[in-house]
Amino acid sequence: MAADSLGVYIHIPFCVRKCAYCSFYSSPADETVRQAYTEALCRDILSYGGRGLGCDTVYFGGGTPTALESGQLIKILEVVKTAFDMDSDAEVTLEANPDSAAPEKLEALRAAGFNRISFGVQSLDDRELSALGRLHDSKKAIVAVKNARAAGFENISCDMMLGIPHQDTASMLATARGLTGLGISHISAYMLSVEEGTPFFEQGIEVDDDRLADMYLALCEQLGSEGFEHYEISNFAKQNRRSRHNMRYWQDREYLGLGCRAHSFFEDRRFFCDEDIKTYISSVSHRLTVSEEHPDRLEEYILLGLRTSDGISFERLKELGADEERLQRIRECAVMLESHGLCRFSGSGFSLTEKGFLSSNSVIAQLELC
């Protein structure tokens, strides 16, 4: 297999405040810890140096990466460039919170090579934002996007959320229109899921699936009419503005996750760093937990490929080891799904429709059982 360049994911596990729906690993921390973590992260990154590994996407995710100072973020990016052979047109994404995105900070980061920014806006309705426990209001969010543009970011993405308490289809569509009106090129729309251990779970907040489904389809229609391509279950992009880093996940390509609790798919293994912040800072070599060795590429191709509008091709299924009999069963299943409006055939394969995306768990399970 020809050496593919990597995607590098950098995990910044800090948050100023934890949101009411979040079950992800993050914690508030003082400046000393943040600096120590930055240094540990740099050491971790450098340990991959000298191996001639290429990299064409870098993604700073969290937590809240902008909880770090711009100098710290820039330092980390410099170290990534040292350790990896980075493409000149690499996509370098930074997740940011609207409330930690001052103009000077954004300018410095842009100048240092960050070229894509993804804001966790979630909603432009203040009542919904406070229900989520976000620190920003809608005004701050709009200002943050404008500042990013002023700082030279052309590739701006915003996250929005469906199923927020108090939200209805109208307010959700108002958020979508508000965001597209700012001229952004990418939207990630996630449906709220109430996870155990979160305040939402404790409060007994429930999300009605039928209502969510209606909202989702309404959003798809709205964004489609504004020229956004619905290229993945939760992602919409203007032309050529798909998230190249996230596409790696769906295309089953390799990525290295660095930082505590970051996940990797590298050298035919899926693993993650199973350490908390304190341990991560103090360890010389990190404890990596392998979650999967030699994952079944055929099953992954179906699972991941069908999340995208590119879908899956019969040719590729065959390359990955599906025999004629299985191909035939998959084809028959797809024909059945098509008759219910859940998938559509292209010349070489098939992909899920938006209705199919909505029930993709069951659809994919059924196809994988073929």
Partner 1 sequence: MDKSKIRNFCIIAHIDHGKSTLADRILELTETVALRDMENQLLDNMDIERERGITIKARAVRLNYHADDGQDYVFNLIDTPGHVDFNYEVSRSLAACEGAILIVDASQGIEAQTLANTYLAIEHDLEVLPVVNKIDLPGADPDRACNEIENVIGIPAMDAPRISAKMGVNIREVLERIITDIPSPKGDDEAPLKALIFDSYYDPYKGVIIYCRVKEGHLKAGDTIRLMATGAEFQTVEVGFMGATDLIPVGELHAGEVGYIAASIKDIGDTRVGDTVTNAEFPCEEALPGYKKVNPMVYSGIYPADGAKYPDLRDALEKLLLNDASLSFEPETSVALGFGFRCGFLGLLHMEIIQERLEREYNLDLITTAPSVIYKVNLTDGSTVFIDNPTNYPEPALIAGAEEPVVNAHIYTPPEFVGNIMELCQDRRGTFKDMKYLDENRVDLHYILPLNEIVYDFFDALKSRTRGYASFDYELKGYEPSKLVKLDVLLNGETVDALSFIVHVDKAYARGRKIVERLKENIPRQLFEVPVQAAIGGKIIARETIKALRKDVLAKCYGGDITRKKKLLEKQKEGKKRMRQLGSVSVPQEAFMSVLKLDE
Site residues, partner 1 (CB under 8 A): 9, 11, 24, 61, 190-191, 193, 209-210, 212-213, 216, 233-234, 246, 248-249, 255, 257, 261-265, 270, 272, 291-292, 295, 299-300, 303-304, 336-337, 340, 342, 357-366, 368-369
- Structure tokens belonging to residue 260: 């505590």
Nearer to partner 1, 142 or 159 (CB): 159
CB 23, min distance to partner 1, A: 9
β partners of residue 257: 9
Which CB sits closer to partner 1, 151 or 262? 262
Instruction: Identify which of residues 242 and 261 has a Cβ nearer to partner 1 in the complex.
Output: 261
Q: How far is the CB of 212 from partner 1 (least distance, A)?
A: 5
* Contacts within 8 Å (CB) and 24+ apart, 292-300: 293/268, 293/269, 294/268, 294/269, 295/265, 295/268, 295/270, 297/252, 297/321, 298/322, 299/368, 300/252
Shortest spacing between CB 107 and partner 1, in angstroms = 27
Residue 2's contacts (CB-CB under 8 Å, 6 or more residues apart) are none
DSSP secondary structure string, 269-289? Answer: EEEEE---HHHHHH-SS--EE
Q: Is the CB of 11 or the CB of 136 nearer to partner 1? A: 11
Distance of CA 297 to the CA centre of its chain: 21
Residue of 224, 214, 131 whose CA lies nearest to 170? 214
Give me the least distance between CB of 339 and partner 1, in Å please: 8
Distance (Å) of CA 350 to CA 88, 198, 204: 34, 37, 39
Nearest Cα to Cα of residue 5 among 52, 45, 60, 74:
52
Q: Residue 351: which residues within 8 A CB-CB, separation 6 or more?
A: 306, 308, 309, 310, 311, 312, 343, 344
Minimum CB–partner distance for residue 327 and partner 1 (Å): 19
Cβ-based nearer residue to partner 1, 143 or 213: 213
**Least distance (Å) between residue 170 CB and partner 1:** 20
User: Toward partner 1, which CB reaches closer, 40 or 233?
Assistant: 233
Question: Residue 147 CB, nearest distance to partner 1 (Å)?
Answer: 26
The three-state secondary structure class of 255 is strand
SS3 content of the chain, % helix, strand, coil (to 5): 45, 25, 35
Q: Which is nearer to partner 1, 213 or 327 (CB)?
A: 213
